[in-house]
A and B are shown apart, each in its own frame.
Chain A
Amino acid sequence: MSTRWYPIYQRGNPQLRVFLPNFWMKLVRPTEEQPPNVVTFAVSTEMTKHDVKNYLEKIYKVPVVEVRTRIALGDTKRDQTYGYITKNDDVKIAYVTMPKTEAFKFPDLFEKKAEQLEKDEKSMDDSKEGFRKFLERNKKRPGTPGWFSI
């Protein structure tokens, strides 16, 4: 596509512009403890440090001081049955430093999960109980639809 086909850049040419960037970026939980103003991202492997900085500043309006990147090797795994090896894709990890005044803490997304689960189980139990009652009522007249009696 012509919007993905960039002309070769030579010195003195106008700066290349990306109109529809298709880079992806994931905010991931840091494996090691980091200062509060450092955020860890998993990004497209083809992104450079400048790309990461511009992406965050222009699209997300997040102030960026410094970006450091590394490429993490994807895990290799041997198949248990046939013995062939599969490998996950490599991914670029970007450590983004924000100004000292900023702070980011990765939120706990599943804080209320247990509560929710309990609620779901309760509603499931209720519906089970209802079905049991229905069966009890229809014991002597099998096949009768639920709306038949009051």
Chain B
Amino acid sequence: MSSTLMKCLSLANTLRTATLRSLLTSQQKPTLAPWGAVVPALASHVQAVSGIHTSAASLGLMEFFDDPKVWSENEVKVGRAWKPDELRIKSNKELHQLWYILLKERNMLLTMEHECNDKMEVFPNPERIDKVKISMENLETVVRERNKAYHLLETGETGERPQRLVHNCFGLRYMYKSCEHVLPPFMNIKWIKSRNVGFGGRAVRKFLLQYREKLYNEKRKAKNRSRNEVMMILRRNPDFDLEVLRRQFPQVNIDKLRNEDKARGHYVPKIGV
């Protein structure tokens, strides 16, 4: 047991210290550092460890399946997802490589999940899919940040897809994402017609009136609720710390509420004390 533990710990140390660059550029197959790094030290025995996910070119279609060692396990322990801060220190090339590792990992997990569902078996640790998803989202965020910075430097614009607020046929505002067209705007009759949405009409006016009433009522009720809550607190605890109340309910005028009849407890007020 001790030898395996030592091996695991040393592996964890090397993975933690070594950067992805060294791992990727060395002769070894590309590895997914945090997935293996945290785990081996934690799970030193018994538990199935989906250790380091390697992706060799020779595996071919078997890359769609998990390690055969963990096929029949009930629990597969893995590490956490990649954090944005860890990804920010990687180069573009490394991020590009990591994207494909994550993509393969996700395909593998989806395949395993599908097969497990088909065979009426329990898919071990389904949160692995979420972890890959979070990692991929974080990676995209980082790439997007870099893209924005580059565009701002070169062109003075963010390079993001242009958006603007427009009204739809119900008179509600939404973000319209612009897209490229083959025809210029003045020639594109179909587009002009599709954009020409007026929202006059009795039905729309009635809808908007009631919709706004609904929004207003929600706001009003929330306000009343917090006001009543404050009064009940003051009634039950006359010596309540007002600063805490003010911080908790910034919208409520506490000084005014203190003189309310509802905020007074069921006791005879002390006069002249």
Contacts and interface: CB of A to CB of B under 8 A. Distances in A.
Contacts of A42: 114
A85 to B, nearest CB: 21
A22 B114 contact: no
B181 A8 contact: yes
Interface stretch (A25-33, A127-135, A140-148): A25-33
A127 to B, nearest CB: 13
B184 to A, nearest CB: 13
Contacts of B119: 109-110
B71 A112 contact: yes
B100 A3 contact: no
A62 interface: yes
Interface in A1-25: 1-3, 5, 7-8, 10, 19-22, 24-25
B44 interface: no
Interface residues of B, number: 43
A10 B179 CA distance: 14
Q: In this complex, which of B61, B62, B99, B160 has the most chain A Cβ atoms within 10 angstroms of its Cβ?
A: B61
Nearest to B62: A107
17 contacts: A1-B140, A2-B161, A3-B147, A8-B182, A25-B64, A25-B110, A29-B115, A59-B100, A62-B60, A107-B62, A109-B72, A110-B119, A110-B121, A112-B72, A113-B72, A115-B72, A116-B74
Interface string B89-130: 000000010011001101100111011101101000000000
B140 A27 contact: no
Nearest 4 CB-CB pairs, A to B? Answer: A27-B64, A8-B180, A112-B72, A116-B72
A26 B181 contact: no
A52 interface: no
A48 B154 CA distance: 35
A26 B160 CA distance: 32
A28 B61 contact: no
Nearest to B147: A2
Interface string B170-213: 00000000011110000000000000000000000000000000
Contact of B143 (A20, A25, A28, A59): A20
Interface string B152-179: 0000000111000000000000000001
Contact of A27 (B61, B106, B147): B61
Contacts of B107: 24-27
A125 interface: no
Nearest to B151: A2
B160 A1 contact: yes
B72 A3 contact: no
B57 interface: yes
A110 B96 contact: no
Given A28-B111, A60-B60, A2 B72 contact: no
Contacts of A82: none
B74 A27 contact: no
Interface string B212-253: 000000000000000000000000000000000000000000
B96 A19 contact: yes
A78 to B, nearest CB: 21
A39 interface: yes
B145 to A, nearest CB: 11
A62 B61 contact: yes
Contacts of A116: 72-74
Interface string A108-126: 0111110110001000000
Interface in B126-154: 136, 139-140, 143-144, 147-148, 151
